[in-house]
Structure 1
Amino acid sequence: QQRELPRLLITDSQINNVARAYIHDDNFAGENGELSMWKFYNLITGANKSSYLDTFLGRSVNATEVSVGLTEALNGRDMAYSWFIE
């Protein structure tokens, strides 16, 4: 079952950086705490800056894939990424 899920290549500490930036950075907070997928993508790529060079490009591509996949899942067009939002 795990092989069927999309991969998320960012690390736990990078997920923490995404959450911290969302909470503490006024540039990412939307009205009523809403987050656009463009801002989500920027949060992920911002956290990815701490990656080593050999993993940076792969994680950058993965950030794009995850952001697009989540957008499609929110719009009901991609069931693979709906696992992340259920």
Structure 2
Amino acid sequence: MSGIFCAYQRDNFAGTRINMVNCNERYYVSTWGRGGSWINDQTRNRPGREAKMYNPSGQLVYTTPPPYSSDAHGDWNPVRFVVPCR
């Protein structure tokens, strides 16, 4: 979806999708386990539009590249929640 960060439960942008639209909000993906994918299509050319992924301890485990970026073969296993932008 254009203009937002989308997380998908399965590889290749399949399965349950969470549309992450609110900056500084935590979106939980902790039940998804292995596999997954995401698309960062948040408003381009604005700072802070890299999504940050955190483990159950609240430690940052991954920061996405700025928009437009995606990963068709990610791994939600180490991720508890995502903050799409600041």
Which TM-score bucket, shorter chain as reference? under 0.3
TM-score, normalised relative to structure 2: 0.27
Question: By percentage of residues, which structure has more strand?
Answer: 2
Higher relative contact order (CA 8 A, sep 6+): 2
TM-score, normalised relative to structure 1: 0.27
Question: By percentage of residues, which structure has more helix?
Answer: 1
